[in-house]
Homo-oligomer: A and B are copies of this chain.
Amino acid sequence: MRIHEVVLRKPVGDLPVATDFEIRERPLPDPRPGQELLVRVLYLSFDPYIGSRLRGRHMGLPAPLPGESLPGECVAEVLRSIHPDFKAGDLVAGEVGWADFGLLPAAGARRLVTVARPSTHLGVLGMPGLTAWAGVTQLARVRAGDVFSVNAAAGPVGGTAGQIARLLGARTVGIAGGAEKCALVRDIYGFDACVDYHAADWTTAYAAALGAGSTVHFENVGATLLATALSHIQIGARLVLCGLVEHYHGGPTPQVPIIPIIAKRAQVLGLVVYDFYARWGEWLDVAIPWVEEGRLRVVEDVAEGLSNAPLHFEALMLGRNRGKSLVKVAPDAP
């Protein structure tokens, strides 16, 4: 069969833009029996790390060459399986790429296990949610009474992290760019406060929202936002270093001020979500009831069709997404 997929037409610059991409058609080989599933992609997930991945700056992986398949998590419908664990019609999640059909290694396929919409498995139940859970519960060990701060709070990692912290009894303060995102963080995600870092003098509002300072800060941005967060921690604070979207597109080596780490006896904890893939089930056990009861939400920012994927990815790179960035690849996706 023949498929459509988005590929690079040329290597990306510091900031990937829509014109870096093109759609091509190519033949798809048959799935290897017992190893691969032939799937139809319903949704493709866009996540900030893909930006640095395309530049060869993610976890030591090489940048995809022009014309090569691009990395991306999907939810998909199994069309054909010669594997005992999967049959045609099953809904699965896994790394298929920027394509309408593809081959998914069965070993990397996660069966969808909830009544929630399939796309939820790319957001709150997907890698962003797992990342948030790992940082909040396994690294920072958030508990009742914590003052929890997180930036990029309108995004699926930050938004989910804050909601988990709140459900565990913390007071939650988000940081996001723009009034619309802040409203989402407060009104939909239910944070106690959200500060707009585009506003003049936002650090005063941030300090006021924190009160005595944060006891846990979850970092998704880097640069001056990280430095500001560090200057508002309490003694003994835990800092989760998760994402550095401000640094994914080049520029000087990302650094963090040392003095507040020492003066506040902070614990700074590096997070790589891949370490927690084996524990995805633990997160789902916690998260699925919360999602089904409506206590844990992620707003989705969905583009229709692969042809709109390049522009939608550029919007994510510019921070213009409002919630979880997705491409609805199959027009009839539920």
Contacts of A244 in B (CB 8 A): 258-259, 262
Name the B residues within 8 Å of A226 (CB-CB). Answer: 258
Among A32-40, A146-154, A270-278, A294-302, the one that faces the other chain is: A270-278
For the complex, what is the distance from the CA of A271 to the CA of B265, rounded to whole Å?
Answer: 5
Name A262's contact: one of B60, B255, B267, B272 (CB within 8 Å): B272
A38-79 residues with Cβ-Cβ distance < 8 A to B are 59-60
Q: Which of A235-252 contact B (CB under 8 A)?
A: 241-242, 244, 247
Q: Which of A261, A263, A266 has the most B CB atoms < 10 Å from its CB?
A: A261
Proximity bits, A254-292, B CB within 8 Å = 1, else 0: 111111011111111111100100000000000000000
In the complex the two chains form, is A270's CB within 8 Å of B275's CB?
no
A275, B267: Cβ atoms closer than 8 Å: no
How distant is A219 from chain B, measured CB to nearest CB, in Å? Answer: 9
Question: Does chain B have a CB within 8 A of A253?
Answer: yes
List, in ascending order, chain B residues with CB within 8 A of A256's CB: 255-256, 258, 261
Assess A272 versus B261: contact at CB under 8 Å? Given A255-B255, A255-B256.
no
Cα of A271 to Cα of B202 in the assembled complex, Å:
30
Which B residue sits closest to A238, measured CB to CB? Answer: B267
A96 CB, nearest partner CB in chain B, Å: 26
Copies in the complex: 2
In the complex, whether A94 has a CB less than 8 A from a CB of chain B is: no
Interface centre among A256, A259, A262, A268 (most CB of B within 10 A): A262
Q: Is A222 an interface residue (CB 8 A)?
A: yes
- Shortest Cβ distance from A223 into B: residue: B258
Kindly name the residue among A59, A244, A254, A270 whose own CB sees the greatest number of chain B CB atoms within 10 A: A270
Q: Is A258's CB under 8 angstroms from B261's CB?
A: no
CA distance A262 to B60 in the complex (A): 13
Residues of B within 8 A of A271 (CB): 262, 265
Contact of A257 with B258 in the complex, beta carbons under 8 Å: no
Q: Which residue of B lies closest to A253 (CB)?
A: B257
Sample of 13 more A-B contacts, CB < 8 Å, known A222-B258, A261-B270, A265-B270: A241-B261, A244-B258, A244-B262, A247-B258, A254-B258, A255-B257, A256-B256, A256-B261, A263-B270, A264-B270, A266-B269, A266-B270, A267-B267
* Residues on A facing B (Cβ under 8 Å): 59-60, 222, 226, 241-242, 244, 247, 253-259, 261-272, 275
Of all A-B residue pairs in the complex, the 4 with the closest CB atoms, nearest first, are: A255-B255, A268-B268, A262-B270, A261-B270
Can you pick out 29 interface pairs between chain A and chain B where the beta carbons lie within 8 Å of each other? A60-B263, A241-B258, A241-B261, A244-B259, A244-B262, A247-B258, A253-B257, A253-B259, A254-B257, A254-B259, A255-B255, A255-B256, A256-B256, A261-B270, A262-B270, A262-B271, A262-B272, A263-B270, A263-B272, A265-B269, A265-B270, A265-B271, A265-B272, A265-B275, A266-B270, A267-B267, A267-B268, A267-B269, A268-B268
